[in-house]
Amino acid sequence: MSLPDTAGLLLSSVARLVTGAQGHWYGCVPKAEQRIYFANHQSHLDWVLIWCALPRELRSRTRPIAAKDYWTATPFKHWITREVFNAVYVNRQRTDDQDPLEPLVDALRHGDSLVIFPEGTRSSLGDPQPFKSGLYHLAKQFPEVQLIPAWIDNVQRVMPKGEVVPVPILCSVTFGAPMQLLPDEDKRTFLERAREAVTSLRKLSGSA
């Protein structure tokens, strides 16, 4: 087994020990189809939880988005995002000549699945913030890729902002039914519908 594989296994066992890392598939099953998973965003652990909930054979083809400036800043951060998670790097600083979605588009063309957090930033409040438009553009450009909403529950209690040591608390990821961009749906309606799809999973996940 290679070093990145070992690191991944170690990481997922720690995540399981701390959070239980349960995946509940309600609207779909974990299958090797090209997909864009989109979820609420509460902590750095969100991605790890989704990654743990996926079957191992899907992990290498399901890629997270990582902010280039932050996740390549040290050799270790760079190594773990590149080798273990196979992340797609995006620039946070906007330049005029480059579309920030371009790396994502490349990955989807290449046949990979993506995990995105359309709120943009982490929010500690209960309800997810309004979604940014990236999801809409990707949905429009890749109508054949399934869009899977997901609700991540309880993670904010494991490691609140500003704390470094996680507390063991059970967390879960609930995956919902695939959705699609309707023929003449406008951006605002679609994004609101997508956000609704994520929020509605919250009741299924059991938290108040």
Partner 1 sequence: MGDVLKQLRGWTASEQIGLLFIIVFGLLGIATMIGVAMSVRAEDEARTLRAERFKRQLRTTWVMVTVFWIAWIAGTFVSLLLFGLVSFFALREFITLSHTRRGDHRSLILAFFVVLPVQYSLVGARYFDLFSVFIPVYVFFAIPVISAVANDPERFLERNAKIQWGIMVCVYGLSHAPALLRLDFRGYEERGAFLVFFLVFVVQSCMLLQDYVGRHYPFKPVAPRISSSFSWGAAAIGVFGGALIGALLYWITPFKAGQALGMALIACAAGTLGDFVMKALKKDAGVHYWGNEGRLVTGAVGLLDRVAAISFAAPVFFHSVRWYFRL
CB of 154 to partner 1, least distance (A): 7
113 near 35, Cβ under 8 Å?
Answer: yes
Q: What sign has the CA pseudo-torsion 56, 60, 61, 66? A: positive
Output 78 or 122, the one with its CB closest to partner 1.
Answer: 122
Output 14 or 169, the one with its CB closest to partner 1.
Answer: 169
Binding residue (CB under 8 A) for partner 1 from 60, 123, 129, 154: 154
Q: In 3D, which of 70, 46, 11 has the Cα closest to residue 172?
A: 46
∠ Cα 105 96 101 (to 5°): 15
Q: Can residue 168 be called a binding residue for partner 1 (CB under 8 A)?
A: yes
Binding residue (CB under 8 A) for partner 1 from 165, 183, 184, 186: 165
Two structure tokens written together for 44: 């750095």
Output 71 or 151, the one with its CB closest to partner 1.
Answer: 151
Strands 62-67 and 88-90 come out as parallel
CB of 119 to partner 1, least distance (A): 20
Q: Can residue 182 be called a binding residue for partner 1 (CB under 8 A)?
A: no
Binding residue (CB under 8 A) for partner 1 from 3, 9, 73, 170: 170
Cα pseudo-dihedral 46, 51, 54, 58, rounded to 10 = 140
Which span (70-78, 88-96, 164-172, 175-183) binds partner 1, by CB under 8 A?
A: 164-172
